[in-house]
Chain A
Amino acid sequence: MTMELQQSLEYAAPEVRSRVRPFAAPDDVRSEPRFVRIGIIALATAFLSVFVVLPLVVVFAQAFSKGVSAYFAALSDPEALSAIRLTLLVAAISVSLNLVFGVIAAWAIAKFEFSGKTALVTLIDLPFSVSPVISGLVFVLLFGAQGYWGPWLQSHNIHVLFALPGIALATSFVTFPFVARALIPLMQEQGTQEEEAAISLGASGLQTFFRVTLPNIKWGVLYGVLLCNARAMGEFGAVSVVSGHVRGETNTMPLLVEILYNEYQFVSSFAIASLLAMLALITLIAKTMLERHIDEEELPHDD
């Protein structure tokens, strides 16, 4: 056995030695052969163009297929304006709610020890693992006329489902994890020393939060808000269930894209879709910029 092994090692040895020889081309040593590299890069580029660039181009090509004036006419249609308005309003509501809850939750989880912490983290992640349609249906079960609180709400003439509150609730639920998820690792990384220092110097809890904690995480907060906003504006499934599809009233932009498409109004449909695509592009650029700032935040401050 040992003989055999030694033999095979001996056989292998010259080959190995030749591969690490210093005077061989340095490229060949450090990376894959050239054709593999080119192949992989070509594959990635092809994949990206088919799955990312091409759809984007198609969206804009369709949107402008009947000219610029048709494009702007489609966007200034009252139904389109109402959808844009509703989408902005819903995004503003759910982002502000999730900003407050997300920062508080992340603060509690990262800076304090308490029982049930793991359960809380799991709960925050719940909306990620639940299908959006289910998230919507849950609100139908709670607020629907046949649901738990429906009869009471109806008798008091409060409309939650098929109105703005329902859409905002469903969107907030679906986008709940974004802010908290962006902050928890960042705040855990930063630890509690700075807060401890502030408190030992006589700062109150709130002062510590606003003067020490918040400035440290501001880029992280913006990052969470950005992702939260992108998802809130783009949410389809949950909103579709609770919207009621009342035209010019409870249709958000993604819902309107589908409706117009089904009405053979391709220019209008893709005009709205192009707005969502632009939102995605802006989000992407802002995200890249923010990530640079967050990397700085994570660095220890005392060096």
Chain B
Amino acid sequence: MIRRLLPAVAGLLLWASSAVAADLTLLNVSYDPTRELYADFNKAFAAAYSKETGKSVEIKQSHGGSGSQARAVIDGLQADVVTLALAYDIDAIASKGLIAADWQKRLPLNAAPYTSTIVFLVRKGNPKGIKDWDDLIKPGVDVITPNPKTSGGARWNYLAAWGYAERKFGSADKAKQFVADLYKNVPVLDAGARGSTVTFVERGVGDVLLAWENEAFLAQREFGKDKFEIVSPPLSILAEPPLAVVDTVADKKGTRAVAEAYLRYWYTKEGQEIAARNSYRPRDSEIAKEYENSFAKVELFTIDEVFGGWAKAQKEHFAEGGVFDQIYKN
């Protein structure tokens, strides 16, 4: 019997080890909600690049929580480019010497060609009447947001709530109290943004999901406008998901030129159009005007204005024993 099985097994292995290769391959290590965005963008870039240079390029994707993706790159995942949820995660990779320390200056606009913000996704008819950040700390409102320790999106959620409270109540102490009250209303902390969306949308847990604007739009597209509504608060944070070439990997693999072209493609009209189409806010003013009606008018503050940059915000709020640990323990 074993002898009869052998050719079958051998054939299987031959098939299993076969693979197709393009002239160039890039590995883009990204965060969770960008799957659809990069599926779209990669196709457009590959077409544009082969038209320009005559070389075919294949872009491989890896998606996961922003923090754990950064960890994987530090541990040796051979990413040519990283496109993560927040600058701090790329800083973490840079601190191990894989990316030059001045990476955020190498590309225009803080190396963030598309932006987003944090909005509320509520169930049809908005039964709990959620309009603004204040409504999230009311008793009986269940808020779904991922764990800021592991998720980039969750950190933006947290900082958006904090920034709102600090502006409204005028002090860091009161902002801390506000955020603490908010997390009292959180029944479950998922590890990543997509996990939280699944919890809210598919498992039907919670009254409001704090989400990336693009993620909220995607959930609405997938499940229908008759099931969920997007509520944009009047004030929120400007989320800038940055990109960088991983210097050590690109130089070793000899892919620096194509990797840089890949990131620069975001700054073209086509790139900006793709961002807008996927519900990321474009930077280009013309494209922004064209998609004006797709995005609610929200007053946006930046992390630099309110928190003095990512490094400081990370240390103060999310590091071991930071503010988040203090409020979540109680």
Contact = CB atoms under 8 A, between A and B. Distances in A.
Interface in B42-94: 60-64, 72, 74-78
B76 A262 contact: no
Contacts of B76: 143-146, 150, 154, 159, 161-162
B16 A146 contact: no
Contacts of A245: 62-64
Nearest to A155: B252
A244 B72 contact: yes
A143 to B, nearest CB: 8
B233 interface: no
Interface stretch (A122-130, A231-239, A246-254, A277-285): A246-254
Interface stretch (B7-15, B126-134, B269-277, B312-320): B7-15
B61 A247 contact: yes
A157 B248 CA distance: 12
A34 to B, nearest CB: 42
B27 interface: yes
B62 A89 contact: no
A276 interface: no
B194 to A, nearest CB: 5
A150 B32 CA distance: 27
Contacts of B13: 88-89, 92
B155 to A, nearest CB: 20
A162 B60 contact: no
A246 B75 contact: no
Interface in A83-98: 85-86, 88-89, 92
A242 to B, nearest CB: 9
A92 B13 CA distance: 8
A263 interface: yes
A39 to B, nearest CB: 33
A185 interface: no
Nearest to B1: A222
A161 B12 CA distance: 24
B75 A262 contact: no
A264 interface: yes
A249 B78 CA distance: 12
Contacts of A262: 32, 194-195, 198
Nearest to B72: A244
Interface residues of A, number: 28
Nearest to B252: A157
Contacts of B9: 92
Given A88-B12, A162-B72, A249-B60, A244 B17 contact: no
Label chain B's interface by main secondary structure.
Answer: helix
Contacts of B96: 146
Contacts of B252: 157
B220 to A, nearest CB: 12
A140 interface: yes
A264 B221 CA distance: 11
A159 B253 CA distance: 13
Given A144-B76, A150-B76, A246 B62 contact: yes
A8 B12 CA distance: 75
Given A85-B15, A147-B75, A247 B194 contact: no
B72 A263 contact: no
B174 interface: no
B173 interface: no
Given A146-B74, A154-B76, A248 B60 contact: yes
A162 B64 CA distance: 14
B35 A162 contact: no
A233 B155 CA distance: 36
A88 B60 contact: no
A51 B223 CA distance: 28
Contact of A246 (B16, B61, B195, B222): B61
Interface string A78-116: 000000011011001000000000000000000000000
Contacts of A150: 75-76
Contacts of B17: 85, 89
A248 B195 CA distance: 22
B75 A145 contact: yes
Given A89-B16, A92-B12, A146-B96, A244 B77 contact: yes
A65 B195 CA distance: 23
A2 B78 CA distance: 85
A82 B222 CA distance: 26
B16 A88 contact: yes
B16 A85 contact: yes
B16 A86 contact: yes
Contacts of B75: 140, 144-147, 150, 161-162
A210 to B, nearest CB: 13
Contacts of A244: 62, 72, 77
Contacts of B198: 261-262
Interface string B184-195: 000000000011
15 contacts: A86-B16, A88-B13, A143-B76, A146-B74, A159-B78, A161-B77, A162-B75, A162-B77, A244-B77, A246-B60, A246-B62, A248-B60, A262-B195, A263-B35, A264-B222
Given A146-B96, A246-B62, A262-B195, 8 more contacts: A85-B16, A89-B13, A159-B78, A161-B76, A244-B77, A245-B64, A246-B60, A264-B222
Identify the 7 closest CB pairs spanning chains A and B, nearest first: A145-B76, A144-B75, A89-B16, A244-B77, A162-B77, A85-B16, A264-B222
